[in-house]
Amino acid sequence: MLEMTFKRVAKISLLFSLMLIAGTAFSQIQQEKPPAVFDVCSTCHSLNADDNGTGPTLHKLMGRKSGSVEGFRYSGPLKRSQLIWDQNSLYEFLTNPQGKIPGNRMPYSGLSDEKELKVLMEFLSQATQ
């Protein structure tokens, strides 16, 4: 009886260990290295929750209302814009921040390289869920 219990505990431990290893591997796959074009963004923005820098965190950006990250001091124009960040609004903002929201404080003139913009948009869509 004791031997049967030991075997059962060993099987459960092995199964748990395999699940933990698989979960860690999956997590590492999901945490893909940001593309080089994101380097400019990461100077001011983090992908981590509650990690505001010079710019607000980008954690859970997609679907979020502009100017709504708790604890970050936004410009009036950005708060009043009432934008919801999605593929279209983010694309327009990243290509011309001042054109999309005149008077915002983001010191970035925009990204004009379509290939880099596509890479950045794809990364942000995945990483900021």
CA distance 105 to 59: 20
Q: What is the pLDDT of residues 33-73, one digit of tens each?
A: 899 999 999 999 999 999 999 999 999 999 999 999 999 99
pLDDT at 125 over 60: yes
Entry pTM: 0.72
pLDDT at 15 over 70: no
| DSSP H/E element including 13 | helix 2-30
Q: Could you tell me which residues are beta bridge partners of residue 84?
A: 65
Q: What is the pLDDT of residues 81-101, one digit of tens each?
A: 999 999 999 999 999 999 999
Torsion of the alpha carbons at 52, 53, 59 and 62, rounded to the nearest 10: 110
| pLDDT for the residue numbered 114 | 95
pLDDT at 74 over 70: yes
Neighbour-count burial of 90, counting CB atoms closer than 10 A to its CB (0-12 exposed, 13-18 middle, 19+ buried): buried
Tokens of 118: 């596509």
| pLDDT for the residue numbered 5 | 66
Phi/psi region, residue 80 (left: phi>0; alpha: psi -120 to 50; beta: rest), is alpha
**Banded model confidence at residue 1, pLDDT cuts 50, 70, 90:** low
Count of other CB atoms within 10 angstroms of residue 82? 10
Instruction: Calculate mean pLDDT across residues 27-34.
Output: 60
